[in-house]
Amino acid sequence: MRLAITHDTRYRYSPSVQTAQHVAHLQATDTPCQTVLRHTMAISPEASVQHSIDAFLNHRAYWALTHPHEGLSVQAYTEVETRAIPAITPSSAQQSWETVREHFRYRGGQAGDVHAGLVFGSHHAPVHTAFADYAQSCFTPGRPLMQAAQALTARMHRDFHYETASTDINTPALEALHNKRGVCQDFAHILVACLRSLGLPARYVSGYLLTQPPPGQPRLVGSDASHAWASVYLPELASHACLGWFDLDPTNDRCGMASPGEDYVRLAVGRDFADVSPLRGVLQGGGSHTLEVAVTVAPLDL
């Protein structure tokens, strides 16, 4: 499947900002499930953009604006080809969740797994007994980790209500867990926190999902949104095409190796949203501001 994605961000400042430094995670990376065919990013006011790869192998762009400006516009355009990877047979993923937990247990003086850092809590996805208690019914003794993670994803899909504007980036995951409502970002943080609270390595994934307009209705430009889901690491599948990662989308109750499906595009991965924010910055000056974001995900005409 070939997809075209536009992600436009516009800030207006009042009064003007004097100087600013920004970091963007708006360029997708090649993964076992996707190949980036094209990427462009236009910034206004014009800036000299530097590029690097961060600790999670995400593409990162950063720039500085050293003169007064009343706004910032960032327009990212990406073309991606997605694909399915070989399916996993049930016999290939039978490692119990307790075995994986033990694999990542700290042992002084011994080399640890490279993914061990993802067992620890982070600001938006902390380790807490409330998350472990919620997940425990799905993680019964001896149950394979893949099955347990799928069951937890399905349970969250049943228990939680998707409600726009019910939370914001500052809403704690514990509060969203208690209220059983939120948006995809909240659900991804909760699922990551549940897995970590059981001693399992999990990461937050930002990206996009192709949505279909109602029958007979045109696709509306700018009406889509960025998406978020979770991913858990299965050591026994490290040599598989998925590189050991099993993706979990509790918003839509979909799971898959390295991606929940061909209609998903991965943008960046990290400990939580703070590692992969599409655009963030430090400003000097200014006061109030307005923000407009428009995202369009559409099949690429061949």
Same domain, 52 and 126: no
Q: Does residue 221 carry a pLDDT above 60?
A: no
Q: 287 falls in which pLDDT band (50, 70, 90)? A: confident
Q: Which domain holds residue 220?
A: 90-106+113-275
Q: How far apart are CA 181 and CA 240, in angstroms?
A: 35
Q: Tell which wins on pLDDT, 169 or 71.
A: 71
Buried b (16+ CB within 10 A) or exposed e, 85-123: beebeeeebebbbbebbebbeeeeeeeebebeebbebbe
Smallest CA-to-CA distance from 83 within 37, 31, 35, 33 is with 33
pTM of the model: 0.94
Same domain, 137 and 237: yes
Q: Is residue 21 within 8 Å of 48, Cβ to Cβ?
A: no
Same domain, 219 and 75: no
Same domain, 100 and 249: yes
Q: Does residue 218 carry a pLDDT above 80?
A: no
Same domain, 200 and 288: no
Q: Phi, psi at residue 112, to the nearest 5°?
A: -100, 165
User: Percent of the chain beyond pLDDT 70?
Assistant: 97
Q: What average pLDDT does this structure show over 172-188?
A: 97
Strands 161-162 and 181-182: parallel
Same domain, 238 and 292: no
Q: Does residue 45 carry a pLDDT above 80?
A: yes
Total tally of structural domains belonging to the chain:
2
Q: How far apart are CA 99 and CA 146, in angstroms?
A: 12
Same domain, 212 and 293: no
Same domain, 24 and 154: no
Same domain, 69 and 120: no
User: Percent of the chain beyond pLDDT 90?
Assistant: 83
| Per-residue pLDDT reduced to its tens digit, 1-38 | 999 999 999 999 999 999 999 999 999 999 999 999 99
pLDDT at 135: 98
- CATH number of the domain that 289 lies in? 2.60.40.2250
- CATH number of the domain that 258 lies in? 3.10.620.30
Q: Does residue 224 carry a pLDDT above 70?
A: yes
Q: What average pLDDT does this structure show over 213-235?
A: 81
pLDDT at 113: 84
Same domain, 33 and 179: no
Same domain, 201 and 253: yes
Same domain, 26 and 170: no
Mean pLDDT of the chain: 93
Write down the residue that tokens 């059983």 correspond to. Answer: 180
